[in-house]
Structure 1
Amino acid sequence: MAREIQVTFDCADPAALSAFWAEVLGYRLQDPPGGFETWDQALEAMGVPPENRNDASAVLDPEGAGPRLFFQRVPEGKQAKNRVHLDVRAAPGLQGEARMAALEAEAERLTARGATRLARYEPDPPLQFGNIVMADPEGNEFCLD
């Protein structure tokens, strides 16, 4: 039986990080529960104090194909390199200079939105097609692939 997955990020600012990843992936913020126009209205009705209203956030693939991304506030900061990371397929089907140009354009777009560029790996056929390693605003590594 196939299983659905959710990718969970521990972070300091769930609202900001979920907005960043929604932008990166073309996702959208998860809607508030039925009967509420905003999350703030829903959380108020649930009795969640204002200081806890940014404890979690989630984004969804509008097509329903990709996994839900869930962001939860934790007290500790990032400690080490991620052992699991996302590969953002920013240049599917492209090779060589066209591929690297597309990856560079996406790296520039995401840097303007708070990402940090960490490294560029040049194409080395037949197995390596080139990629750019980035970090999100809280330092979580991901690759533009």
Structure 2
Amino acid sequence: MYVEADLVFYGQPLANQNELFDFMADELEKKKYVTKDFREAIKLREKEFPTGLSLGDFNVAIAHTDTTYSRAQKLVVVKPEQSIEFKNIQDLQPLDVDIVFGLILNDSDKHLEVLQKLSNILQDRNIIKKIKNVKSQDELISLMQNHFNE
């Protein structure tokens, strides 16, 4: 799975999870990467199984849903203009998330492989620092492609 430039979004003015998931669904539906039921499925999945992760001074979410709502293998990266509240996967407490990774997987066998790759990237403090300090769309695209498309 590769990070594609047209699925990386920087500085999006999204106020909450609903706006974020609607934005993601709109972008993915336009490209026919997901079914029409994806929008509600990802919202429901997040309510039932929160995906927020605290990485110390930087928080991420790895949002995803069942493979039946996906028509492709894609990674969506959204660094919103301001943090969006998610629930922490560990203690279910509110967590202000700085970047969201949306896993669009139509092959359940790939799920663990993609999570492992993303986990390796997120454990690297240097990469996290770079992601945190990104100042533009092009910089975010380049950074994600350099570390994910190896």
Return the TM-score normalized by structure 1. 0.29
Q: Which has the larger radius of gyration?
A: 1
Larger relative helix fraction: 2
